[in-house]
Structure 1
Amino acid sequence: MDAAVLDLGTTQLVAKTDPITFATDRIGWYAVNVNANDVAAMGAEPRWFLATLLLPESASEAEAASLFHQVVDACAALGVSLLGGHTEVTYGLDRPVVVGCMLGELIGPRPVGAAGARAGDHLVLAGPIALEGTTVLAREAAELLIQRGVPPDVVDRAQRLLEEPGISVVAQAGIAMRTAEVHAMHDPTEGGLATAAWEMAQAAGVGARIDANAVPVLPECADVCRALGLSPLGLLASGSLLIAVAPADSEPVVDALRRAGYPAAVIGAVTPSAQGLVLQEGNAERPLPEFERDELARVFDGFGDA
C-alpha cells in the first residue's frame, strides 16, 4: 500500500512517510510532492506535513534556508499545512536528506490503494509517464545528454518539467475520486509505469493488458531515453497516476481530467490473473517488462548505453 490508514472513529486519517535521498537542487519540493502523491493515491486529501531536514557538515545557512523555503512553497501550492519537523547537521552525510511525513483525510468512505482492481476494469492513466526520471536526468546529466545528441533546448525543456507540468497528482486523484467509483489507484514511481502495473496486479491478484501506443510519452522523454538507451516504461514516473475503474466510468474520468487541463487516456484493461501482464504493441504482444531497478540507476551506474 502507498500509505497507512488510521481509523479515528469520526474520520479516517491517511499517513505516509518517505525520504528523499538522491542529489537534487529541489529536494525539499520533492519531499512534499512525493509524500502527497502517495496519500492522494489512497483516495485522500493531503492536509498536514512534517519534515526532517538532515544536512551535511558542509551545508551553508543559505542552503538550509533554501530547503526550508522549498518545503514551505510546496505545501502552500497544495494547500497543505506545515506542522513542523526537525533540522540538524548530521555527521557522515555527503548531501542533504529530507524525510517527509504527510497526513490526509479520506475523500470517500474507504481507502482506495492498489489492491482493488477487478478483472474487466479499464486502466486510465493521468499524465505522461517517466516525467520525473526525464527531468532528473536532464538536471543531473545534462552534459552527457548533449554529448549523446540531445539538443540543448530539449534538455532545457526537460529540466523544467519538474515545475510544468510538475509531478503532483493530488488534483488528478481528487478529480477521479469525485467523478466515479475508483476501484484502485497507484502512482508510478521507481521502476516506472511497468512496475506500477505489476504492483497493482500483484496486490489485486489480477492480470493486465497495456496498449503501448496509448501510453503518453512526452517528446522530451522520448529524446532523453533514446539517447541513453532507456525504456520509458521503467523510468521514474512521479507525475502520472494509474487508475482502475469500471468500463462505464473510464470515459467520464478521462473527460473530467481533460476538462481540468490534465492529459489522460485509457491505456489498457485489467484481466484475469491467468492471462498475466501483457504489453500490446500494434498487432504484436509480449510480456510486460519487469524492471529489477529503475532505469535511472543504469545511467548513474555508467550503464546508460547498455
Structure 2
Amino acid sequence: MNSFSNSAQHFLFQKVEKLRRHPSKMRDTHITLAHGSGGKATRDLIDDIFVKNFDNPTLSQLEDQASFDLASLMQQGDRLAFTTDSYVVDPLFFPGGDIGELAINGTVNDLAMSGAKPLYLSCSVILEEGLAVETLRRVAESMRTAAKKAGVQIVTGDTKVVHRGAADKLFINTSGIGVIPTGVNVSAHNIQPGDAVIINGELGNHGTAILIARGELALDSDIESDCQPLNGLVETILNVCPDIHAMRDATRGGLATVLNEFALSSGVGIRLDEQSIPVREEVNGVCEILGLDPLYLANEGKFVVVVGRENAETVLSAMKSHPAGKDACIIGEVISSPPGVVLLKTVFGTERIVDMLVGDQLPRIC
C-alpha cells in the first residue's frame, strides 16, 4: 500500500513539475466565455499568452498580487509614483504601433512625467467573446517588446471576458509604479514667468495615423504614430538639470490642452510662437482638409518641458542628443499675464487665444 502511494505521489509530482515548466498550450482559435470562468480555460489562456510573454521572477509566482522589497526601492529614491490608464484605441493595430505597445508606453510615460523611474506595471484585459486568439497573442508579444525597451516588468494582471457585442474586441488597463529620485520635484505649480517651453518633436502624428488607419477617408499617407517610451529621454534631461519645473505628455487634447492645464495650475500665462511649433506638412494637410487643429491632436511620444530660461539651452542640447528628442525645440515662454491664458503668436504677427479643447476631435484615439 505504501509502495503504491509513493508511486502515485511521484507521478503527481512529475506531472506538476511538467506543468510548471511547460505551461498549457491554448488550442482554441477564438476567445470564449469559458476563458473568463476562472477554470482550466482561463489558466491555459494566462499561461500561454501572458505568462509566456511577460515571464519574470515576480510574475511567475502567480499570486493575486506582486510584492516588492521596500529597501531596494528606497535605494533608488524617496517617493513612489503611481498611475493607471485604460486603452480602447480603434483600430487595434495602426501604423507605428498597436494597442499593446500603446498601453505600455502610455503608462511608462505618465510615470516619467513626474521624473520617476518606471519599474513595474500591471496588465488587465477585457476580451470580447469571439476575439481571435492570434490577435491577442500579437498584442501580448508587442507588450513584451515595449516593456523590454522601456526597462519595466509586467508583474501582475487580470483577465475578463464579456459577451459578444459588450465590448469592442479588446480593452487594456495598465497601472504602474516608479521611484522618484531624491531632489526631483516636477509639478505644474512650479512654473514661473520667464520659463521656457520646450517640445521634443513633431506634433499630431499619432492622431493623424489613427484617423487614416480607420479607413473612413480616402487619404493615403505614410504618417506613423509617434508611440514611444519617454523615460530614457527624461532621465537624460534630469542628469543635466534636476531642476525641471514641469513636464507632461501631450496625449488626448494635444499640446493646447496641456499648456492650458499648466497655465491654470500655476496662475501664469503662456505665449507660443507658431513658427517654432514643429508639425509635418502631411499632418497640416490632413488638418486643413478636415478642419482640425494640430495643436489639439493626440500624441503618444511627445511631451512638454517647462524649465527656467537659464537652463533652457542645456536641457535642449541634452534632449537633442537622445533619439526621442532629436527634433526638440523651444516653442514659447511663460508670461505673467494674462494669467490662465495661452496665447499664440501667428505667422502673420497677430496673437490669438488657444483655448482648452471642447469635445473630442477624434474619439478612441488611445
Same-fold status (TM-score > 0.5): yes
Residue 227 (structure 1) shift = 2.4
Cα separation, 2, equivalents of 1:110 and 1:264:
22
Q: Could you tell me which of 93, 98, 110 is aligned with 1:38?
A: 110
In structure 2, what residue type is equivalent to 1:244? V
In structure 1, what residue type is equivalent to 2:126? L
Residue 168 (structure 1) shift = 2.9
State yes or no: 1:278 paired with 2:343: yes
Larger radius of gyration: 2
Cα separation, 2, equivalents of 1:63 and 1:198:
38
Describe the superposition over 1:85-136 as per-residue Cα deviations: whole angstroms up to 9, x where unpaired: 1123123212210000111111342441333211111111112111221221
Does the CA contact (< 8 Å) of 2:185 and 2:244 recur in 1?
no
Which of the pair is proportionally richer in strand? 1
Higher relative contact order (CA 8 A, sep 6+): 1
State yes or no: 1:19 paired with 2:86: yes
State yes or no: 1:74 paired with 2:146: yes
Cα separation, 1, equivalents of 2:240 and 2:205:
25
Structure-1-length-normalised TM-score? 0.85
Instruction: Structure 2 unaligned segments of length 5 or more: list them.
Output: 1-69
Cα separation, 1, equivalents of 2:149 and 2:232:
11
Counterpart in the other structure of 1:220: 282
Counterpart in the other structure of 1:291: 357
Judging changes above 3 Å, is the alpha-carbon distance between structure 1 residues 113 and 38 closer, same or farther for their aligned structure 2 residues? Answer: farther
Structure-to-structure mapping, 1:1-306, within 5 angstroms: 11-23=78-90, 24-25=92-93, 26-91=98-163, 92-141=166-215, 144-146=217-219, 152=220, 155=221, 157-158=222-223, 161-162=224-225, 165-180=226-241, 181-261=243-323, 262=325, 263-275=327-339, 276-282=341-347, 283-297=349-363
Residue 185 (structure 1) shift = 0.7
Judging changes above 3 Å, is the alpha-carbon distance between structure 1 residues 145 and 174 closer, same or farther for their aligned structure 2 residues? Answer: farther
**CA-based RMSD:** 2.1
Does the CA contact (< 8 Å) of 2:271 and 2:335 recur in 1?
yes
In structure 2, what residue type is equivalent to 1:17? T
Does the CA contact (< 8 Å) of 1:197 and 1:208 recur in 2?
yes
Does the CA contact (< 8 Å) of 2:196 and 2:306 recur in 1?
yes
Residue 83 (structure 1) shift = 0.7
Judging changes above 3 Å, is the alpha-carbon distance between structure 1 residues 127 and 171 closer, same or farther for their aligned structure 2 residues? Answer: farther
Describe the superposition over 1:139-170 as per-residue Cα deviations: whole angstroms up to 9, x where unpaired: 223x5142xxxxx3xx2x21xx23xx534322
Instruction: Structure 1 unaligned segments of length 5 or more: list them.
Output: 1-5, 147-151, 301-306
Name the SS of the counterpart of 2:362 in structure 1: helix
In structure 1, what residue type is equivalent to 2:297? L
Judging changes above 3 Å, is the alpha-carbon distance between structure 1 residues 122 and 226 closer, same or farther for their aligned structure 2 residues? Answer: same
Cα separation, 1, equivalents of 2:209 and 2:189:
30
Cα separation, 2, equivalents of 1:115 and 1:100:
27
In structure 2, what residue type is equivalent to 1:186? R
Between the two proteins, what is the percent identity of the paired residues? 28
Name the SS of the counterpart of 1:172 in structure 2: helix
Cα separation, 1, equivalents of 2:170 and 2:185:
33
Does the CA contact (< 8 Å) of 1:209 and 1:271 recur in 2?
yes
Residue 258 (structure 1) shift = 1.1
Moved more, 272-281 or 125-134: 272-281
Residue 241 (structure 1) shift = 1.0
Name the SS of the counterpart of 1:274 in structure 2: coil
Name the SS of the counterpart of 1:189 in structure 2: coil
In structure 1, what residue type is equivalent to 2:344? L
Name the SS of the counterpart of 1:244 in structure 2: strand
Does the CA contact (< 8 Å) of 1:43 and 1:108 recur in 2?
no
Q: Count the aligned residue pairs.
A: 280
